[in-house]
């Protein structure tokens, strides 16, 4: 496809898998049975993405309880009172807190990627969590005998291993999920927290060669959970210039749900690095109405008024179910929106002469 188009990551889990997770928690099915349900969900996800014409697929994050917490699986040095993420509708999500050092990833994404590659006939993209999100695990009160500096060194080592493992295993690209970027400006309008997040993520990206960074992207959005966001009210002009200082080759930017899309596009045009590609969101996972291909086409053509078409791609605004228990969007609606994105991107490419 002349204009690249990709999913962001998560897709609602099938009912059979959601039921199986509950049955496993209650001790009514064993690990093998649950693993079979996970495999079936991954296979079905990839088959449906390929049937829609997706030139690149993901596993839909079917095995992740959330886009953040896969890295914490099996860790015993975590407590319950970590950072709270507030959403506009009043509900919250809460991270655990690290209780002792050292910090190590409980799991990396390479195993997810290798499973997806068994079923995929097209390239596979691998989403990973950005180091900045996991930096929130360290408590403000500190940890005796384990400084924040030691924690960050360990975190950077883990984040590098997560990304490198996926690249070395043949991922078409690796996408860093950075939804906390926009949220940081709500929690700290001075921008100091955002600056620290950018610096931390760049410390990770500095460990990769320029050719490798071309295959590493960063995704930003105002969060999406249970049909609500955590930071859509934050001015994009405060985030995007700093976002584009990240040393990545690709940027996946929520746009379909943005109130003033032209203003956001102008900011992108002013700050997008000359060697980077920007994938704009053309479908809104929170909106229950499925976009038409024509709507998608028109959003892309409008973006091409601001951005060079040869550095433009399309995506969904966000994952459809970043937290595994979020069923606010159905699996069928998610795939319908994805199909509209792919068809609309094809239509826009034809009109642009690509």
Distances from the Cα of 269 to the Cα of 234, 309, 315, 348, angstroms: 19, 12, 18, 19
Q: Does position 1 have pLDDT exceeding 80, yes or no? A: no
Domain count for the chain, please give it. Answer: 1
What does the pLDDT average to over 176-191? Answer: 96
**Alpha-carbon gap, residue 67 to 34, rounded angstroms:** 19
Q: Count of CB atoms within 10 A of residue 225's CB? A: 24
Angle at 125 between CA 242 and CA 83, to 5 degrees: 50
For β-strands 97-98 and 92-94, DSSP reports them as unpaired
What does the pLDDT average to over 285-310? Answer: 97
Show the tokens assigned to 85: 């993420």
**In this predicted structure, what is the pLDDT of residue 337?**
98
What does the pLDDT average to over 219-244? Answer: 95
Q: Does position 278 have pLDDT exceeding 70, yes or no? A: yes
Portion of the chain with pLDDT greater than 70, in percent? 100
**Alpha-carbon gap, residue 180 to 307, rounded angstroms:** 25
CA atoms within 13 A on the CB side of 266: 5
**Alpha-carbon gap, residue 19 to 347, rounded angstroms:** 39
Q: Does position 93 have pLDDT exceeding 60, yes or no? A: yes
Q: Does position 53 have pLDDT exceeding 60, yes or no? A: yes
Q: Does position 114 have pLDDT exceeding 80, yes or no? A: yes
Q: What is the pTM of this model?
A: 0.96
First to last CA, the chain: 9
**Alpha-carbon gap, residue 101 to 147, rounded angstroms:** 9
Q: Does position 322 have pLDDT exceeding 80, yes or no? A: yes
What does the pLDDT average to over 170-198? Answer: 97
What does the pLDDT average to over 67-90? Answer: 94
**Alpha-carbon gap, residue 166 to 86, rounded angstroms:** 31
Closest CA to 247 of 126, 161, 130: 130
CATH code (residue 236): 3.20.20.210
**Alpha-carbon gap, residue 183 to 191, rounded angstroms:** 11
**In this predicted structure, what is the pLDDT of residue 38?**
96
**Alpha-carbon gap, residue 351 to 94, rounded angstroms:** 45
Q: Does position 324 have pLDDT exceeding 90, yes or no? A: no
Q: Does position 28 have pLDDT exceeding 80, yes or no? A: yes
As a whole number, the mean pLDDT across the chain is: 96
Q: In the 3-class helix/strand/coil scheme, how is the chain assigned residue by residue?
A: CCCCEECCCCCCCCHHHHHHHHHHHCCCCCHHHHHHHHHHHHHHHHHHHHHCCCCCECCCCCCCCECCHHHHCCCCCEECCCCEEECCCCCEEECCEECCCCCCCCCCCHHHHHHHHHHCCCCEEEEEECHHHHHHHCCCCCECCECHHHHHHHHHHHHHHHHHHHHHCCCCEEEEECCHHHHHHHHCCCCHHHHHHHHHHHHHHCCCCHHHHCCEEEEECCCCECCECCCCCCCHHHHHHHHCCCCCCEEEECCCCCCCHHHHHHHHHHHCCCCCEEEEEEECCCCCCCCCHHHHHHHHHHHCCCCCHHHEEEEECCCCCCECCCCCCCHHHHHHHHHHHHHHHHHHHHHCCC
Distances from the Cα of 311 to the Cα of 4, 127, 308, 354, angstroms: 9, 21, 6, 12
Please classify residue 39 by burial: count the beta carbons closer than 10 Å to its beta carbon, then call 0-12 exposed, 13-18 middle and 19+ buried: middle
Q: pLDDT digits over 240-267, tens only?
A: 999 999 999 999 999 999 999 999 999 9
pLDDT confidence bin for 47, thresholds 50/70/90: very high
**In this predicted structure, what is the pLDDT of residue 109?**
97
**In this predicted structure, what is the pLDDT of residue 125?**
98
Domain span at residue 85?
5-351
Portion of the chain with pLDDT greater than 90, in percent? 97
Return the residue matching tokens 């068809």: 343
């Amino acid at each position: 496809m002349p204009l690249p188009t990709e999913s962001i990551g998560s897709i609602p889990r099938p009912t059979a898998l959601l039921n199986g997770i509950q049955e496993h928690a209650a001790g009514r099915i064993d690990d093998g049975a649950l693993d079979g349900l996970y495999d079936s969900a991954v296979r079905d996800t990839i088959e449906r993405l390929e049937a829609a014409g997706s030139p690149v697929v993901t596993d839909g994050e079917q095995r992740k309880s959330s886009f953040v917490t896969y890295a914490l699986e099996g860790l015993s040095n975590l407590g319950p009172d970590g950072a709270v993420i507030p959403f506009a509708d009043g509900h919250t999500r809460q991270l655990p807190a690290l209780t002792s050092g050292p910090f190590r990833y409980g799991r990396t994404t390479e195993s997810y990627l290798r499973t997806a590659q068994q079923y995929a006939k097209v390239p596979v993209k691998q989403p990973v969590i950005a180091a900045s999100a996991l930096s929130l695990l360290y408590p403000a009160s500190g940890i005796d005998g384990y400084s924040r500096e030691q924690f960050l060194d360990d975190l950077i080592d883990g984040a590098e291993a997560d990304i490198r493992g996926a690249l070395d295993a043949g991922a078409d690209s690796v996408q860093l999920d950075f939804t906390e970027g926009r949220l940081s400006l709500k929690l700290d309008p001075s921008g100091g927290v955002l600056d620290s997040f950018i610096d931390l993520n760049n410390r990770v990206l500095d460990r990769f060669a320029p050719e490798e960074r071309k295959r590493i992207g960063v995704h930003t959005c105002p969060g999406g959970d249970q049909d609500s966001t955590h930071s859509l009210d934050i001015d994009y002009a405060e985030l995007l210039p700093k976002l584009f200082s990240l040393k990545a080759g690709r940027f996946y930017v929520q746009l379909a749900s943005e109130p003033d899309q032209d203003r956001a596009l102008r900011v992108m045009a002013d700050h997008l690095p000359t060697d980077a590609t920007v994938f704009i969101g053309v479908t809104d996972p929170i909106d229950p109405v499925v976009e038409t291909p024509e709507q998608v086409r028109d959003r892309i053509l409008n973006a091409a008024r601001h951005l060079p078409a040869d550095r433009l791609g399309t995506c969904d605004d966000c994952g459809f179910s970043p937290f595994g228990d979020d069923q606010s969007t159905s699996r069928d609606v998610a795939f319908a929106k994805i199909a509209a994105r792919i068809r609309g991107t094809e239509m826009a490419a034809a009109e642009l002469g690509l």
